[in-house]
Every structure is written in structure tokens, then in C-alpha cells.
Amino acid sequence: MALVKVKDILKHATEHKYGVAAINTINVETIKYAILAAEQEKVPLIVQFYPGFSDYMALKYISYTACDMAHKVSVPIGVHLDHSNSFDIAVSGIRDGFPSVMVDGSSLPYDENVALTKAVAKVARVFGVDVEAELGHVGSGENLDDIIDASRYTNVDQAVGFVEKTGCDALAVAVGNAHGPYVKTPNLDFQRIAELRAAVSVPLVLHGCSDIPEEQIREAVNLGMSKFNIATEYFRAMYRSFENTIVNGNVKDNGIGLLEAAKEDMIAFVVDKIRLLNPNKFSL
């Protein structure tokens, strides 16, 4: 199966009622361990990268590494650039080889978000690149209003028009979710998810999935959410593996050894997320 278009993976997930783990990565090991988990479970997975880390790792290196690894495995792997908040960043992702990019104009007024997303989609179509957009404010988990203020959630009627006007391939929505650690346990708006799924023609994306209670994640899958972004918990799993390895004295004075020692813990973390997102036990 190898490298597969993100929109095709998400369409398949929507039709077969499972969720796709979209794992944020930062280097070779984080990409490799996520892909190995997907191959073990025999389900599709999306590897993605946040462009805010481009000073640490250039976009072209991440895209090349992820695409190359994807070509060598037996399960469908998508490669995606997460949260490009400008035209230039999104187009740089296209230039640097990402088969899918997100353009995030959600902090802009509606009409400006439409214009930005439409402009990126126009360029992306030339190169056969998929586009994820966002409507509604998916803010910070450390800001209580971003979690509980329903006026910041995605408007269903607006979402229908937004997808039609922009031609985006997937839509990230705000339904009580937020990025990073949560100051308060989130309570997803399931009625809104169901209404969005019934009204919108493209797959739906849930950002900020780290630390959302498992029962809420399962319900979101069953209501038709297709892509689940996971970053905070994955990096936390890596850190805690390093910490345990050092405290237990299993590796000393060896950074490479730490990365290698984290392999099983990080694979296990992604496997658990894949299984959580697959309540109906789909398998290729």
C-alpha cells in the first residue's frame, strides 16, 4: 500500500467507521516508530509535522524521510504538514514535498479564511496535493474559554458553505477540543459533531486529541470523525521513556541509546491510540 493520499485514507476511514491516528513527529525515530505501530496493527496512519519546528528540522527533510519510509511498508501511510497559518508556509510545504498540507485561517474573519484556504487549494491542485482547512477556533487547552465557549465552536451552516467555496479535502472543527495540555477535562459537543458529519461532504478532523477521555474519543469515531491529531501525548511518551531509562540506569551517557531504548514504549503508545480509534475493529 505504501504512501497513500491523505484524502483517500480519510475517505476510507469515514466509510468504514474507524479513526485515523495523525501522529505529530519531529525526527527519524518519531516517524519510524509511529509507522511500525501502524504496520503491526494493519491499519492506515498519518505522519505529520508542525512547521513551527522548522528551525529544528527543515520541512524538506521531514517530508522526504516520511515519504521514503512510507514507500517501504505494507499499510497505507499519509504524510501531512500540520497547521500552516499563512499562504507562504502552506506553499513552502507543497514545494518541499508534502503530499498534504493544512492551511489554518481559523483566527481570521470568515471571508478571509475562505480566501486564504481557496488560494492554497488552487496551488495545491496544480501539484496534486491535498488540503485540510479549519473553521471554528481550536485554541489552547490552557485557556478555559477556548474549551467551554460554544461561540468559538464550528458553525454547521458556515461549514457547509466553507467547504463548497474553498474546495478543501478535509475540515478541522472546533467542538470543545483544544491544543496542548488541558486546564480542565474537555467535554466534546457530540450533537455538533453529528450535525457536522450529516451536513459536510468532506472528512472531519479533531485537533488536540491528547488527554481527551477515551470514551469521548470512541464516541467521536462512531459519530463519524475521521482524523485525530496526536502530538502532546506522543512527545510525553517519548520523554517518560527517556526518564525511566535514565533513572533505571539502563543507558548511560549515550543519546543514541536513549532513542533506541524508547522504541518499544513509543510503538506501544501509538498501538494503544490506533486501537482506541478502531472500536469496530477494522483491519486491512
Across the chain, where does the E strand assignment appear?
A: 20-24, 45-49, 77-84, 100-103, 130-135, 170-173, 204-206, 225-230
Phi, psi of 77 (to 5 degrees): -125, 130
Known catalytic membership, residue 82: yes
d(CA 165, CA 122) in angstroms, rounded, equals: 12
**Would you tell me how many other CB atoms lie within 10 Å of the CB of residue 68?**
12
Catalytic, out of 55, 82, 130, 149: 82
d(CA 151, CA 253) in angstroms, rounded, equals: 51
3-state secondary structure 192-213: HHHHHHHHCCCCEEECCCCCCC
- Tell me which DSSP letter residue 253 carries: S
**Which residues are marked as active site?**
82
